Amino acid sequence: MIEQRLSAQRGLGDHGWLHSRHTFSFANYRDPKQTGFSDLLVINDDQVAPARGFGAHPHSNMEIISYVLTGALEHKDSMGTGSVIVPGDVQLMSAGSGVTHSEFNHSSTDSVHFLQIWIVPSEKGTQPGYQQVSVAEADKRGKFSLIVSPTGEGKSLSVRQDMRIWAGLFNGSEQQTVALGEDRYAWIQVARGSITVNGIRFNAGDGARVRNETSLSFSEGDNAEVLLFDLRPVEVNHPTR
């Protein structure tokens, strides 16, 4: 079963310098039917104005992933990490026992557009950590590339949970069918463009819960950038964040 969550159904946070669409309950947006899916707690689709951003603030016991679509995102944290990530880059901060960080638009002229993703970890109170990887467009063109996994296999970042994330780019005749593990859930998130999945059309910002499907066929992409999450088959009513 594929249960779509359309872009326009998402929560909205508009703060002038920040325009954010919330797939799941977050900040002032509250929907008891949308409190995450399996261990996936947050997908925020954020656009930040030039030279603005999120000041230093704390997190704990959360795996926080940033995936940049356009522009440049500057990161600093209490572990001494400082970096600028651009399209193709993925960052993962394991907040663990506690970390303070800030995320700013690195440019004084252009906005930055990125997805912020939160994963509930399997353990609490672990040592905080930071990872970053750059994934070439060729590695995602017409196929899915593994960007996050429990063991950090290949070039993927290591997450403290039994889940995986793939990223793919699809246009025109490019297509791929992905087999789903037995008794696993999945989440589809279309970051940009549009694409057909198992005969269902998805546009930018659309997502979907996937249960009891053996495979997903991605085709008819129109400059589509897609994230695919492999998740534990658990139903959890997470507290809103």
Residue ranges of domains in the chain? 2-231
Closest by CA position to 177, among listed 212, 210, 219: 219
- Residue 113 tokens read as 């557009």
Confidence (pLDDT) at 55: 83
d(CA 199, CA 12): 28
Q: How many residues does the chain have?
A: 241
Q: Is 138 helix (H, G, I), strand (E, B) or coil?
A: helix
Reduced to 3 states, what is the DSSP secondary structure of residue 35? coil
Q: Are strands 157-158 and 144-149 parallel, antiparallel or unpaired?
A: parallel
pLDDT tens, N- to C-terminus, the chain (241 residues): 999 999 999 999 998 999 999 999 998 999 999 999 999 999 999 999 999 988 888 889 999 999 999 999 999 889 988 899 999 999 999 999 999 989 989 999 999 999 999 999 999 999 999 999 999 999 999 999 999 999 999 999 999 999 999 999 999 999 999 999 989 999 999 999 999 999 999 999 999 999 999 999 999 999 999 999 999 999 987 776 5
Distance set, CA 45 to CA 67, 79, 95, 120, 234 (Å): 10, 26, 20, 18, 24
**The pLDDT value given to residue 240:** 61
Judge: domain 2-231, CATH 3.40.50.150: no
Whole-number pLDDT of residue 70: 97
What's the pLDDT at 58?
Answer: 87
The DSSP H or E segment spanning 127 is none
